[in-house]
Chains A and B, each alone.
Chain A
Amino acid sequence: MSLQHILAKLPYSKPFLYVDSLIEINENYAEGSYSFKEDEFFYQGHFTGHPVTPGVILTECCAQIGLVALGIFLLEKEGASLKNVKIAMSSSQMEFYLPVYPLELVTVKSEKVYFRFQKLKCEVKMYNSLGKLVCKGSLSGMLKKETP
């Protein structure tokens, strides 16, 4: 399963896709990156005249790479069809250490804690281009195969 294939399967699009590339995915780990564009919609208001990436967006970026891309890999590995999969974040606990400004490149590294009964739990970390920890935390989501 190629990284490009998983990237194409991510159920997001502009202006809410926060993955530019996937660097590595295996059964227990996912890594990907995103560079925040200068004209992201939220910079208009967060904050007024002083654009900083909101924590919820950093969390979303971590979730798209760490939970959803990894989850798609795991589901496909199980042989599941992705057509009827419902995705929902079920919990997030994050801590933030450094601000992320427009045009910054971030890398997300996610370690699987478990994937059982359609629930995926991961420990995620986001680093900036200097390799400094931006945020880290624990994210969980449900990847439900819809019953007909």
Chain B
Amino acid sequence: MTNQSHYEILKEIVKIYLPEDVSVSDITEESNFTSELNINSANLVDIILDVEDAFGITLENQDMDQMKTVKDALRIVEQKLVE
């Protein structure tokens, strides 16, 4: 079960970096950041930095490597928050 408010916060962040041909309504938990939402690797870094600020956590290189989908990002956020 995904924390709904965390999902909403993440969606608000991702929204900023979506290219013009992808709309907010295209975002689902299963969305792959690069192949489906067309977010490039530089903007994925921006998303990660915003996520760090929004949740007050610090992410490592291996976290980014694991962050393929929205669901992955939420899982990593939950993990970091309990640590």
A residues with CB within 8 A of B? 90-91, 114, 116-119, 140-142, 144
Contact = CB atoms under 8 A, between A and B. Distances in A.
Contacts of B61: 117
Closest 4 CB pairs of A and B: A90-B42, A119-B45, A117-B45, A117-B64
Interface in B45-78: 45-46, 48-49, 61, 64
B34 interface: no
Contacts of A142: 41-42, 45
Contact of A114 (B41, B42, B44, B49): B49
21 contacts: A90-B40, A90-B41, A90-B42, A91-B42, A114-B49, A116-B45, A116-B48, A116-B49, A117-B44, A117-B48, A117-B61, A117-B64, A118-B41, A118-B45, A119-B41, A119-B45, A119-B46, A140-B42, A142-B42, A142-B45, A144-B41
Q: Which of B40, B41, B48, B61: most chain A CB closer than 10 A?
A: B41
Interface residues of B, number: 11
Contacts of B44: 117
Contacts of A117: 44-45, 48, 61, 64
A90 B40 CA distance: 9
The A interface is mostly helix, strand or loop, or mixed, namely strand
Given A91-B42, A119-B42, 19 more contacts: A90-B41, A90-B42, A90-B43, A114-B49, A116-B45, A116-B48, A116-B49, A117-B44, A117-B45, A117-B48, A117-B61, A118-B45, A119-B41, A119-B46, A140-B42, A141-B42, A142-B41, A142-B42, A142-B45
Contacts of B42: 90-91, 119, 140-142
Contacts of A90: 40-43
A114 B49 CA distance: 10
A140 B49 CA distance: 14
A141 B41 CA distance: 10
A142 B64 CA distance: 14
Contacts of B46: 119
